Amino acid sequence: MEIHSTQPGRNRTVLVSQRFFDAAATAFLEEHGCHVRLAELPPGQADGGLPEAALQAMLEGADGWIVGHAHVSRSLLEKLPQLRVVARRGVGYDRVDMDAIRDLGKVGTVAVGGNDACVADHTLGMMLALAHRLRESQRRMEAGDWTILPGRDLYRKTVGIVGLGRIGRAVVERLRAFHANILVATPTPSETYGQANNISYVNLPTLLEQSDYISLHAPLTPETRALIDAGALARMKRGAFLINTARGGLVDDAALLQALLSGHLGGAGLDVFQSEADPAMQEVTRQLLALPNVVATPHAGASTHEGLERTNMLAARCVVAALDGTAIPPACLIADGRRAREVQPC
């Protein structure tokens, strides 16, 4: 694995360990006194699969790190005293040890708002692909069978949204064009938002039982891990569709596989998988991918050209703000240990 440098000789170094970091974001960092190092990863390799030793070697001498899905652990951060800011090019941070960032006097940020639109579009695309059986139809046509497979409408169907953050709201906005009946399960309902958007807040069991489509937009926390387990899947309507563009750990993929094989569910749209964090689940993922009523992508919902440009620039701005000691947008700041660094015991 090679590291390519641009503009050597600057007094601050920022490592970018993700692909698709564009010229505008690189130029912004350089204009603000940063020497940018771009990690060249092997084909098919993302930073999330790199061992800690490789990450440590890449990060030696770095003041800032723009990271994708790598595990940002306490043991890694303890070996990098010069590193001051970890900026995720994304919004999830379940792989970031925020307590360690605070304890060690560092800063952690996310790129809030950069990928809402593209993930919401991806979600609707998966709903429509499943409903109209696009994968099944193309596979049959490739085999010479042009038999028409009747699909289903999204128009005026009941859609359940689990989690109502920025992406969940963007999905609601798009579903209004389909005149969908929208149910939402969230721990923090807003009656004003609900009335303005004609949505109904319900508990999760009700949502599972009544929805034709269920789309997950919750963060992965100890409370939400395996939120959609065998029991939850059994509650879903026969023939319903499950879409997960949030985090793989929200769904018990083995239970999902059984629900699909049994014919209980109509299909699943999956951009995330348990196997991303747990290699022992790779066989389950392989079996899910083989099913004709599964539409899958490799955690690519946020990866449009425009979405990547937005999140790249947000991450770059957060890095510069942290290194300069200027204000970081509050929504982007997930952990701030700078005060702890400044106030050391005598």
Query: Which of 280, 296, 312 lies at the terminal end of a domain, its last residue?
Result: 296
Same domain, 158 and 292: yes
Q: Per the residue annotation, which of 71, 122, 276, 310 is the catalytic one?
A: 276
Same domain, 139 and 258: yes
Same domain, 66 and 160: no
Same domain, 125 and 272: yes
Query: Which of 296, 314, 334 lies at the terminal end of a domain, its last residue?
Result: 296
Determine the residue type at 152.
Answer: R
Nearest-5° angle of CA 164, CA 168, CA 169? 85
pLDDT in 10s for each residue of the chain, 346 residues: 444 444 444 589 999 999 899 999 999 999 999 999 999 888 877 898 899 999 999 999 999 999 998 999 999 999 999 999 999 998 888 899 999 999 999 999 999 999 999 999 999 999 999 999 999 999 999 999 999 999 999 999 999 999 999 999 999 999 999 999 999 999 999 999 999 999 999 999 999 999 999 999 999 999 999 999 999 999 999 999 999 999 999 999 999 999 999 999 999 999 999 999 899 999 999 999 999 999 999 999 999 999 999 999 999 999 999 999 999 999 999 999 987 554 344 3
| Residue 247 is among the residues annotated as catalytic for this protein | yes
Which candidate, 174, 163, 64, places its Cα nearest to that of 126? Answer: 174
Centre a 10 Å sphere on the Cβ of residue 98 and count the other Cβ atoms it contains. 16
pLDDT for 10 equals 53
Same domain, 55 and 152: no
Same domain, 261 and 131: yes
CA 73 to mean position of chain CA atoms: 19
| Residue 209 is among the residues annotated as catalytic for this protein | no
CATH of the domain at 128: 3.40.50.720
pLDDT for 341 equals 53
CA 139 to mean position of chain CA atoms: 28
> What is the value of pTM for the model shown?
0.89
Same domain, 181 and 324: no
Same domain, 102 and 135: no
pLDDT for 136 equals 97
Domain that holds residue 64: 2-114+304-342
Residues 6+ apart with CB under 8 A from 274: 248, 249, 251, 252, 253, 281, 284, 285
| Residue 4 is among the residues annotated as catalytic for this protein | no
Same domain, 103 and 164: no
Q: Which residue has the tokens 């969940």?
A: 168
Same domain, 144 and 285: yes
Domain count, the chain: 2
Q: Per the residue annotation, which of 247, 306, 310, 339 is the catalytic one?
A: 247
Same domain, 139 and 275: yes
Which candidate, 96, 86, 74, 76, places its Cα nearest to that of 17? Answer: 86
Could you give the dihedral angle defined by the CA atoms of residues 239, 240, 246 and 250, in that order, rounded to the nearest 10 degrees?
-80
Same domain, 108 and 120: no
Q: Per the residue annotation, which of 84, 133, 299, 310 is the catalytic one?
A: 299
